[in-house]
Every structure is written in C-alpha cells, then in structure tokens.
Amino acid sequence: MCVKEWKRIAEWEAVHYRERKAFLQGVADAACGTTARAQQYRRWVEAVENVYRHLERTDPERARFFRLCYGLDGGRKLHDRKGLMSLTFSFHASQSTLYQWRSEVLSLLLIAAAETGALQPFRSGKGQ
C-alpha cells in the first residue's frame, strides 16, 4: 500500500469520525463486550482526537480548519472540492493553501493512527 492509499483511509476515517464516536458511545451504553470492530474504531477516534488536540496547541487556525473540513464537532463536512472552496472565504486563503493544509492534516492523522495502532503499515499480513 502506498502513502496516497493510506491518506484515503485516513480521510475516510476523519469523515466518519462522528459516526464512529456514536457507535462507541452505543457500545458503552449497552455495556456490550468490546469487539474487534469497536477496538479499531476506538483507535481511529483516538487518532483523530490526538491530531486535533495537537493542532489546537500548535496551530489553532489549522485545528479550526480540521474541525470544519471534516465536521468533527457535528457541523457540515466540507472536505470535498466544493466545501474547500467555501472554506477559502472563512480562512482568507487560496484553495491550494487549503489543499496543502488538508494534506498536512492527513499526514498527521497517519502518524497518529500508527501510534494508536489503527494503521500498521509495516506489519506484513496485517494492516488497517
């Protein structure tokens, strides 16, 4: 698998962060045993939250971008081309700048995913 494919996975997980978090809350509320799927979702949720907290500390503007771009707080997801265009006005930045920010955020998310075990890019036979 190449970095481009890993970034697609990371973006998918960022887009589905709220659904994963709701699923995990449902598992907790039902007091069900932890399944492999719940463990994997928990790792991705933790990775997204780690990246967001890191960005809040180091670059609040990109943290805001991450939150708005992927709808982390329940807002509309703006990760597609049309959404990024609308964010250019909010951030007073060019579309190419926002594409660069998105790429950097996804790179951070890949690192966080490797740290949490959500992605294991160098383990043969295993993966996401």
For the chain, give every domain's residue range.
3-116
Question: Mean pLDDT across the stretch 31-37?
Answer: 75
What is the C-alpha radius of gyration for the chain, rounded to an integer number of angstroms?
A: 15
What distance separates the 2 farthest-apart alpha carbons in the chain? 47
Tell me, what's the pLDDT at 3? 83
Tell me, what's the pLDDT at 124? 60
Condensed to tens digits (0 to 9), the pLDDT of residues 58-116 reads 999 999 999 998 989 877 777 777 878 888 888 899 989 999 999 999 999 999 999 99
Tell me, what's the pLDDT at 97? 92
